């Protein structure tokens, strides 16, 4: 019997954000037709991750895949707590990022938004941010992956938590000579943080990542790696 995949996202009050995450989980179900895939959340929405993990049938194994882009409080505390209290075999995978497939999605979004070869175009990886320093490390690694994919420098800016704010990163890019600044939205879905990114002062802002098939493929990869 396959282990149950529990896709645990943050949760949002945005209807568009909820639709994007639901569509992403729907794609995961299509990619894993023989696997039970349950949704769970760490905030705002229900069912909560603790409830979903506790409700796994007796004797069944489960894998919690954080539908989150970076390590942080929710992976280290909320998800870890739920896994530790699970009634049966249960493991949690790393967050989705950093990952080369996410760099591909970001690069495609930037290209579609008009990023060209001009040296005066600058890219800021615009992330939600976290109080957990590990999140900033993950975002920096993601910026490096995107820079390698684009063949140009990428700086990081954060909507909250530690690190330079998005507006500060945009201002710094202009001070360094950029005439156009592209904010590559490193968030999964519309919601609060996507709104902060949109008002960060960049000339061009790419859309959130979900429900791109490549993001669903990362969820599937994390699940399969846990089974292995």
Per residue in 164-199, pLDDT tens? 999 999 999 999 999 999 999 999 999 999 999 999
pLDDT tens digits for 194-205? Answer: 999 999 999 999
User: What are the residue boundaries of the structural domains of the chain, listed by start?
Assistant: 4-96+211-227, 100-205
pLDDT tens digits for 85-120? Answer: 999 999 999 999 999 999 999 999 999 999 999 999
pLDDT score of 130:
87
Who wins on pLDDT, 216 or 72? 216
Please tell me whether the peptide bond between 98 and the residue prior to it is cis, using omega within 30 degrees of 0: yes
Fold agreement (4-96+211-227, 100-205) = yes
* Record: fold of 100-205: Rossmann fold (3.40.50)
Position 131 confidence tier, pLDDT thresholds 50, 70, 90: confident
Position 123 confidence tier, pLDDT thresholds 50, 70, 90: very high
Dig out the tokens for 95 from the structure: 């967050």
Is 0.75 surpassed by the pTM of this model?
A: yes
CATH no. for 4-96+211-227: 3.40.50.1400
pLDDT tens digits for 38-51? Answer: 999 999 899 999 99
User: Cα separation of 97 and 213, whole Å?
Assistant: 15
Please tell me whether the peptide bond between 211 and the residue prior to it is cis, using omega within 30 degrees of 0: yes
DSSP letter at 165?
B
pLDDT score of 13:
95
């Amino acid at each position: 019997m396959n282990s149950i995949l529990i896709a645990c996202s943050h949760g949002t009050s945005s209807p568009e954000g909820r639709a994007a995450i639901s569509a992403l989980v729907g794609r995961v179900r299509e990619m894993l037709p023989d696997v039970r895939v349950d949704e769970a959340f760490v905030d705002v929405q229900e069912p909560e991750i603790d409830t979903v993990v506790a409700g796994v049938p007796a004797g069944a194994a489960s894998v919690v895949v954080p539908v989150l882009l970076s390590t942080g409080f929710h992976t280290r505390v909320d998800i870890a707590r739920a896994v530790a209290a699970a009634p049966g075999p249960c493991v949690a995978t790393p967050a989705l990022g950093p990952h080369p497939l996410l760099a591909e999605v970001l690069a495609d979004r930037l290209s579609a938004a008009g990023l060209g070869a001009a040296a005066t175009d600058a890219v800021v990886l615009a992330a939600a941010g976290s109080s957990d320093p590990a999140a900033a490390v993950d975002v920096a690694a993601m910026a490096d992956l995107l820079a390698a994919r684009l063949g140009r420098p990428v700086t990081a800016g954060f909507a909250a938590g530690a690190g330079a704010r998005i507006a500060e990163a945009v201002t710094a890019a202009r001070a360094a000579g950029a005439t156009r600044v592209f904010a590559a939205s490193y968030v999964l879905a519309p919601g609060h943080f996507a709104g902060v990114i949109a008002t960060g002062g960049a000339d061009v802002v790419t859309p959130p990542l979900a429900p791109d098939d490549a993001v669903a493929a990362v969820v599937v990869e994390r699940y399969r790696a846990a089974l292995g």
